[in-house]
Amino acid sequence: MPLSEHEQKMLEEMERQLFADDPRLARAFSSGRARRRSGRRIAVGLAGVVVGLVVLVLAVALPAVWLGVLAFLIMLAGAVYAVTTPARRGGDESGDGATPASPPSPGDRNGRFMNRMEQRWEKRSGDDPRR
Outline where 22-105 has alpha helix (H). 23-29, 39-61, 65-83
Q: Is the pLDDT of residue 68 over 70?
A: yes
Lowest mean pLDDT among 2-6, 97-101, 115-119: 97-101
- pLDDT single digits (tens) 15-58: 888 788 877 777 777 654 445 668 888 899 999 999 999 999 99
Count of domains in the chain?
A: 1
How far is the C-alpha of 131 from the C-alpha of 128, rounded, in Å?
6
Where in the sequence is the domain holding 44, given as residue range(s)?
35-84
Listed residue (115, 120, 96) closest to 23, CA to CA = 96
- pLDDT single digits (tens) 90-113: 544 444 444 444 455 555 556 688
Identify the three-state secondary structure at position 95.
coil
Q: Is the pLDDT of residue 60 over 50?
A: yes
Is 40 domain-assigned? Answer: yes
Listed residue (79, 84, 100) closest to 23, CA to CA = 100
Is 106 domain-assigned? Answer: no
